[in-house]
Structures are given as structure tokens and as C-alpha cells.
Amino acid sequence: MIHLIYVSDFSRELNQQDFDDILAVSTKNNYEQDITGFLVVNGQNFFQVLEGSKKHVFTLLEAIRRDPRHQNLRVIISEIIEKRDYPNWSMGFVCNWDNDLSDDLKSVLTQYGKTQEFKLSHGKGLRGLLQGLG
């Protein structure tokens, strides 16, 4: 089983209906593929945590790369795990306009949204910050 976090940029302005559509389809598909995790929206970036079998997570990641709402997808961390961080969430959702994010997390996400290459320490640090959302 793997834990993967990626960031991508919005390819266009998105509205509430776009997010509702993403959540509806993702919740169903993730449940069927035994993928857990959540989506965080900050500024013009998607950050998503995906947990599940390597095959299912990477198949999903390729589908996300082809999704016209995403561009410039970068993997922050991908690592083997024994236990899921979010076993009960087929698709959680948090966004900055609901003030659901701490100032520390917003700051890190804003910085990572501009970053093109990541070190392992970036991913481990972000994973720790995101665990507070679960």
C-alpha cells in the first residue's frame, strides 16, 4: 500500500459546481478502488492525499493528469505505508475559503503551490501537517 501527495495547478477558474462534481465522482470511484484520502484546495492549487494499492493509486494519478481542470501536476511524496492515515475517508475535502486551514498549513501550501521539485523532507513535513485534518 502507498501514500501519495500531489499538487497541481488549476487550469482555469473553478466554481462550486466544479468542486461538487469532483467530490461526487471521486468519492464513488475511490470507494470502489479502496482508495482513501482527501483533497485540499488552497489558492489556485489542488493538493491531494491518496492511499491505497500502488496499482490503483497510480492509475488514478494518471487519470488526474489527463483531467482538464488540472495542469502541472507534481508528486510531493510517494511512499510505502503499513497503515492508512485516513482509513475512513474515501474523499475528504477541505478548502481555504471555509477557513478550515491553519495559518501554518496555508503558508506551507502556498509555498508548495509555487514549487516545482520536492525533497523527501518536504513530503514528510507536509504529511505531518495534513494529518491534523484527519
Closest CA to 97 of 40, 31, 35: 40
C-alpha cell at 89: 475517508
pTM across the whole model: 0.89
Q: What is the pLDDT of residues 117-128, one digit of tens each?
A: 888 888 888 888
Taking only the tens place, the pLDDT of each residue in 13-32 is 988 888 889 889 999 999 99
Q: Domains in the chain, ordered, with CATH?
A: 2-131 (3.30.70.100)
Buried b (16+ CB within 10 A) or exposed e, 79-106: eeeeebbbeebbbbbbebeeeebeeebb
